[in-house]
Structures are given as C-alpha cells and as structure tokens.
Amino acid sequence: MAGPRYTSYPTVPYWNMETFSVDKWKESVQKSFKESNEAEGISLYLHLPFCESLCTFCGCNKRITKRHEVEKPYINALLKEWALYRELFGARPKIKEIHLGGGTPTFFSPEHLRELIEGLLQSATLADNYEFSFEGHPNNTTEAHLQTLYDVGFRRVCFGVQDYNETVQKAIHRIQPFENVKRVTELARKIGYTSVGHDIIFGLPFQTTEHVKETIEKTKLLSPDRIAFYSYAHVPWIKGNGQRGFRDEDLPTATEKTAQYNLGKQLLREADYTDIGMDHFALPTDSLYTSMIEKRLHRNFMGYTAQKTQLMIGLGVSSIGDSWYGFAQNVKNIETYYHLIHEGMIPLSKGHLLSVEDLLIRKHILNLMCNFKTSWSTETTQIPELANIVEKLAEFERDALIIIENNTIRITKKGKPFVRNICMAFDVLLQRKKPDTQLFSMTI
C-alpha cells in the first residue's frame, strides 16, 4: 500500500492553497516566534541543491553541475533570505538547531560553508544544547569540511551509504567504496563529532537480502551512533527521469523488500541498536535514543530530531518551513528563487494554514510516529471523525498490530513496521479525498 511518511500533517498534496497567502504565512511565523523563541529557540533547515552527479535513487530537489562558481551566489541568496525573516521576527533569534541538507552540502567548499554559518549566527544567539548537523557525501567530504564545520559548532554528521554492493551502486549511479565511508567516519570521530550517522536503503534495484546483510555487517564494523534504515521511495511519476535509470522489474518485490527490512532490523538489534520511531535506529549513547526515552522525540521535514522547536525556518530552493500553525515551501527553480530574493520577497511557492482540526490530528499523528501511542481521553483531544477512525483501526487490532483500551491506542512491537498505515486511519483528508493517481511511495 502507498502512503505518506508523515513528516507533516496535512501532507503536502493536501495543502489548501485557497486559504494560504504569503502575508498569512508571515503572521504565523511572527506569532510562533513570539511564543517560542525566548523559551526554546528556533530551527533552521538550509537546502543546498548542487550535486556533481545524479544518483538515480534520489527524490530530492537538486541541480547537477560541476561548476563551483555557483556556490557564492547561492550563499549570498541564503543570507538575504535569512535577513528577510529576521525583519519579521522583530527581536534577536535564538538558534537551537541548524541542518544542512541537499543536494550535496559538501559540494560547497569549507570556506563558503564557514561564511554561510557565520553569516547566519552573526545576528543570532545560540540556545543551550544547540545541535548543528549536516549531510555529507563520503566521496567528497574532506577533513577540511569536517574540521571547518566542527569549528563553527557542528557535532553531528550523517553519511549516505545506501548499499555497498557494486551492482546496486552502478544501478543507482552511486559508486562509493567502503573505504571512503570508513575514512570520513573515522575522521569525524577523530575531530570530535559526537554523533556520526549512516543512511542505508533497502528495496533498491537489483538489491537482495544478502546485499542488505553485507552492507549492515560492514556498517557494524564502524559502529555509527545512529542509522536510518529505510525503504527506497520509487516515485518516478513525481521525480521524472531521475528515477528512471533502471526498469521497474529491476526492483525487489514487496515480499523481498519485507524480507530485507526484517533481516536488517534483526541484525541492527543484535548489534545493540534500538528502534527509534520509524526506520531509525540508535545506540544507547546517542541523543536520539535519549530523546526517545525522555519522550522528547520530534518529527518534521528534517525527519526525526532530538531537538523540538515550534518554529522551523526553511531557507533555500524547495525548503519547507513550519510555524506549527502553517507550512510554506519555497520555489524549486534556482533562477526564480534568485529573482524573488533580489526583489526582497520571501520566495514561497505554496503553503497551508492549519485549522483547529488539522492541529489536533497533527498531534495524534506525531504521537504515533514518535511514541507509538496516542490518546483521546479528553474532550480537547477528540475529533468529529473519531468513530470512523476507531472503526478503521479495528483491522489493525484484530491483527495484533495495535492495542486499544481506555481511549488510548498503543502500537505493538509487531505493529511498528506498519506505523504509516496506522497513521493513515487518522488522516481524514486522505479519507475524504482519495487520490485518483498514486501520490506516495509504498509504506513497506
């Protein structure tokens, strides 16, 4: 079954543009900033879209180029966009989290990345226990990248591994030897990074359970602090030719994918990794594990995070911001982005303002995605469609995937792989208007 990953609710295809406007987005940002900045601070997500080559498994917004002269204009634009938001705040922002995503953040030179971060922090205050993280490509992340970002406050890095099998790597156009991953992982630890993560994907073209086993066995040799082990999202109808570097019949069947996931999960658990939310695993020493134990785990457009903030500002092409009361996504075209920034406009393309019902359902879905549990025991946690939702959940209960008692739903150990499907029962927008075409990737 296809379904959302629920990095937001409502999910992007169900955003209501009729009630959204740039001015209303600005108002929601100002409201959220006043409510939360002093107490907890804000988060920043920066999308750095450039890559030197195309990985055919990737569903992200990217621009393929080997021309590194694109770096400086893009950083200038990011800092101008940040200045537009600072004007809205009306006070000095306190930054709790920064994440650099892509694209390939390490496409940028260490010097330009330093200029970017120092430019962001120049007119901001750092929150206590702030966390800066970035996504690194093992093939082009240098010691200078790691040291420079460490010097400006970064302590967490995540490296995209995907799979170590050469046939799979050729199919997804990501030739990346184990030695490269070993080099950057050990360099990061030597410099002082406290959390090194690896991303592993199952369900890739030509991938087998044996490939997954080999990849995880090699990963265990490096003992990353956290691991994202997730299903390849095959959505070529959305992402176009980037995901057509292989045939549909080259992909594992649903049964094969399930076997890959179950084997990988078993191997990770045997290596002392604990399931964190959906598709994430962490060692007991990692902050993601601690946040789960302390019920502080949060999920947003950056995925799972140990740092919860009410306000997250997205900077750069295609970035999505979250004010808690609304979502807004920037334009995806770089030239359009530059034009709007030059005109002094926040470069939005679409968004959604959350209704009272949206906010309530969002809380339930967040509870399920982060804690595998939610409750509707009080009047303020109940929604009109509750009877229909409970009816849809009955099938999961019969299959022992959930337990419902005392107006509380708890996802069982057996049910954790199906958390996306269980959340779909709460997704009243999806129920009211089922899509005519497939919008989402398969849940497993």
Q: Does 174 count as an annotated binding residue?
A: yes
- Residue 425 assigned as binding residue: no
233 is in an annotated binding site: yes
Q: Which two tokens stand for residue 31?
A: 């409201």
Q: Is 58 annotated as a binding residue?
A: yes
Determine if residue 135 is labeled as part of a ligand binding site: yes
382 is in an annotated binding site: no
User: What's the CA gap between 194 and 175, in Å, rounded?
Assistant: 27
| 320 annotated among ligand-binding-site residues | yes
Residue 59 marked ligand-binding: yes
Q: 264 a known binding residue?
A: no
Residue 102 marked ligand-binding: yes
169-175, Cβ contacts within 8 angstroms, sequence gap of 24 or more: 171/56, 171/204, 171/205, 171/206, 171/245, 171/246, 171/250, 172/55, 172/56, 172/57, 172/204, 172/205, 172/245, 172/246, 173/53, 173/54, 173/55, 173/56, 173/245, 174/55, 174/57
What pairing do the DSSP bridges indicate for beta strands 280-282 and 274-276? antiparallel
β 280-282/226-231 pair status = antiparallel
**344 is annotated as contributing to ligand binding:** no
- Among 164, 167, 194, CA closest to 181: 164
Phi then psi dihedrals of residue 411, to 5 deg: -80, 130
158 is in an annotated binding site: no
The dihedral built from the CA positions of residue 22, 117, 89 and 74, taken in this order, carries a sign that is negative
CA–CA gap between residue 316 and residue 334 (Å, rounded): 9
> Which amino acids are annotated as binding site, given as ranges?
45, 51, 55, 57-59, 102-104, 135, 162, 174, 199, 233, 320
> Which amino acids are annotated as binding site for S-adenosyl-L-methionine, given as ranges?
45, 57-59, 102-104, 135, 162, 174, 199, 233, 320
> Which amino acids are annotated as binding site for [4Fe-4S] cluster, given as ranges?
51, 55, 58
